[in-house]
Structure 1
Amino acid sequence: MTKFKLFYHKLTHWEYWPYQVLYFPVYFQYLYYVIRTQSFFFFNASNPTIKNGGFFMESKKEIYDLIPQEYYPKTIIVTPDESLETILQKLTSENINFPLIAKPDIGLRGTAVKKIHTTEELITYHKKAKFNILFQELIPYENEIGLFYVKLPNQSGKITGIVSKEFMIITGNGKNTIRELLNQDIRYVFQIKALEKEYNDKLNTVLKDRETINLVPYGNHCRGTKFVDASHEITPRMVESFNTICNQIDGFHFGRMDIMYNSYEDLAKGKNFQIVEINGAISEPTHMYDPKHTLLFGWKELTRHFHYMYLISKHNHKNGAKYLTFKQGIQEFKNHHKHYDRILEF
């Protein structure tokens, strides 16, 4: 596939556009809200118990600690200087077995998220990481969604959108290599360079007829997952269940919950699911990235949700939640970029 064809596909499919371009209308909306709140960092108050409201430098582990244990997978946090013996002891004490998921405690759009199968892979990951790591048990459910939850002032919470995630699952035909099969789907072609680093010569394997492999077992758009709008699955029963769940998460008012689940029927009843993670003020209404949606639809969803965040932040501020000062906010941005540089080196 030629470079021009890849470039043209990105140019004509807005889901691939850089966020700096995609968010153009939101910049004006943001400046308006800055004037109204007299704060450049008003969004800090959207989720008062989450660092910076979940906009930057928030710890996933600290957010997990807000969630009742039954709703998320067993997780340990490890620093770069901890010994292998200590890590294995922690895993054993929490009964976390291989395979497991490793990821940065403070993440960057799926960067450095990896499925770990053996102690040797764990050692390699830990030696390479210059950041705090979460090791997490594998969730037993196969399906994944992003569920956007908003709790506006003096109202019950509501689900404003659901995105279904179609993983990068390759099905063999007994003839073509994995690499050749990847080249048949332009969405996957964009991921080949990253997959080469992870799988090396395995991409030259020929899968048996109807044999499948999930090359990226976590639903991240930047890693090749297709996002499909499943907002039609929202029901009053599901809203009721998630109000019950989210009311147990202190200070959570706005954000997207990435969830692995068994079926929508069970999810609506609030059972047979686990929360992969909660994203706060930085959350996108990712159902907008469904290829069937127009750019205007995307802008409408972005500005709608940004307005919700503004209303929630302003209300929480009146009730005691603090906005970051300008000096504090600038320092947090500097910390944010330093940390992400460490992740990008991974």
Structure 2
Amino acid sequence: MAAGLDFGVDTGRLAVVRECSVLERMPKWLICVPLVVQWLWLSLRYGGTTVPSAANPHLTSGGLVGEGKLEYFRGMGPLARSVTADYCAVFNDGTATEDSLRHTMANGGLAFPVVAKPDLGLCGYGVRLLPDMAALLAYLVVFPRGETVVLQRYLPQEGEAGIFYARDPDTGKGRIIGLALRYFPRVTGDGRSTVAQLVAADVRARRIARSPRHECSVPPDSVPAAGQQVRLATIGSTRVGGLYRDGAALITPELVRAIDAIARDMPDFRFGRFDVRYQSLRELGAGRGFTIMEINGAGSEAIEAWDPDTGVVQGFRMVFAKQRLLFAIGAAQRKAGVRPIGLLALARLNRRQNRLVDRYPPSN
């Protein structure tokens, strides 16, 4: 493991060196400028702006945008399914009843609590932990009609990681090109301050109050005991104060073999990120003891670049390297006969997804 980093033993927690990275503090539009410039250059080099959509031909747009979570799950073979959290799908047509929902959940092997998430989503928008049937029915009332909700077994493990996988376009060898450890937003009590006061005093945690599409389920006027850590969200996105750390030191041959076997148990999956929960970093490094929550394709972000210990130049290098490899894989797939999506079709998918995100219930 990298020197100077305290990865802990079983909890997977990592001490915060700085509160926010430079990339986190930069406006999104400013971050996008160099990435768009590189994308355009790669488009000229490889002969098309949507070449990356050919990387995963069995997914809508290769997973760039507009694909559903169920697309990844339904194509899995027995090995990949065995390490994926149980789930079921609910099409929200307004006719669901308590009996029908219980039947659907039972068929999926689910019991409360469950995590509800939009089939078509991003960045944790619309993701809620639901403790009971009343909460599920209330969620469906405000969820967009005609869209699908994924219900998934709640994974209580504190450890969460994003494992970035790619299959070399020349050799066909699968490898892990990045690993991010994700930490949930939390505050530590002092025995005097309320949760609201602790959040207001924390540069990272206060993002929860600024996020209009997130509800903190912790009572704001509660007073945690001195030293008590209070988790503030079900999701670990940076938009609500989550922390990403570069876990490249955990990439071992054992983990590479495990992830490569899972990826090969999916139809022609060559590029993307596996988001997993784990109990122990030692088990994760050994390639076992983890459960897949969801998978992202060609549009996956190199979130390890948001580590507060990663400088802005190195962070951009990480993202640039990911985009170069994505284009190379897409070009190899195109050469093998895969047809990339059209630019207008991609724009329509992006517009639809963004419109839906604005209509989802708040995350928690």
Q: Same fold (TM over 0.5)?
A: yes
Shift of 1:121: 1.2
- Is contact 1:260-1:273 (8 Å) kept? yes
Which residue among 116, 125, 138 is the counterpart of 2:130?
116
Matching residue within 26, 33, 53 for 1:24: 33
Report which stretch shifted further, 267-276 or 336-345. Answer: 336-345
Aligned amino acid, residue 57 of structure 1: G
CA–CA distance in structure 1, aligned partners of residues 202 and 139 of structure 2: 30
Length, aligned pairs only: 337
Cα 1:200–1:46 shift into 2, 3 Å: closer
1:331 maps to which residue? 348
Instruction: Give the Cα–Cα distance (whole angstroms) in 2 for the partners of residues 336 and 197 of structure 1.
Output: 18
Mapped to 1, the partners of 2:308 and 2:159 lie a distance apart of 20
Aligned residue identity for 1:150: A
CA distance in 2, matches of 1:344, 1:202: 19
The gaps in structure 2 that reach 5 residues or longer are 1-18
Q: How far does residue 273 in structure 1 lie from its aligned partner after superposition? A: 0.9
Q: How does 1:229-248 map to 2 (within 5 A)?
A: 229-248=246-265
Task: Please tell me the residue identity of whatever aligns with 1:137.
Answer: R
Mapped to 1, the partners of 2:274 and 2:213 lie a distance apart of: 30
Note the alpha carbon deviations across 1:119-138, whole angstroms, 9 max, x for none. Answer: 11111111011032111111
User: Hey, what does 1:94 align to over in structure 2?
Assistant: 108
> Which one of 83, 95, 102 corresponds to residue 96 of structure 2?
83
Amino acid at match of 2:188: T
C-alpha deviation, 1:86, in angstroms: 1.8
Distance 1:311 1:157 in 2: 14
Identical residues among aligned pairs (%): 25
1:184: how far off? 2.5
Q: 1:172-205 CA deviation, whole Å, 9 max, x = no partner?
A: 3332211112123110112124499634781111
Indicate which of 85, 91, 102 corresponds to 1:73. Answer: 85
Aligned CA-pair RMSD: 2.3
Matched residue, 2:66: 57
Distance 1:329 1:217, change over 3 A: closer
Q: Deviation at 1:36?
A: 3.1
CA offsets, 1:21-79, max 9 Å, x none?
Answer: 11322222211222233322112101111111111111001111223211211111112
Residue 313 of structure 1 aligns with which residue?
330
Distance 1:335 1:166, change over 3 A: closer
Q: Tell me, in whole angstroms, the C-alpha distance in 2 between the residues paired with 1:196 and 1:46.
A: 32
Q: 1:282 to 1:156 in 2, by over 3 A?
A: same
Q: Structure 1 residues 241, 104: CA separation in 2 closer, same or farther (over 3 Å shift)?
A: same
Q: Please say if residues 141 and 273 of structure 1, whose CA atoms lie closer than 8 Å, have aligned partners that are also in contact.
A: no
Q: Which has the higher helix share?
A: 1
Q: CA deviation at 1:297?
A: 0.8
**2:349 is matched by which residue type in structure 1?**
E
1:14/1:269 CA distance change after superposition, 3 Å: closer
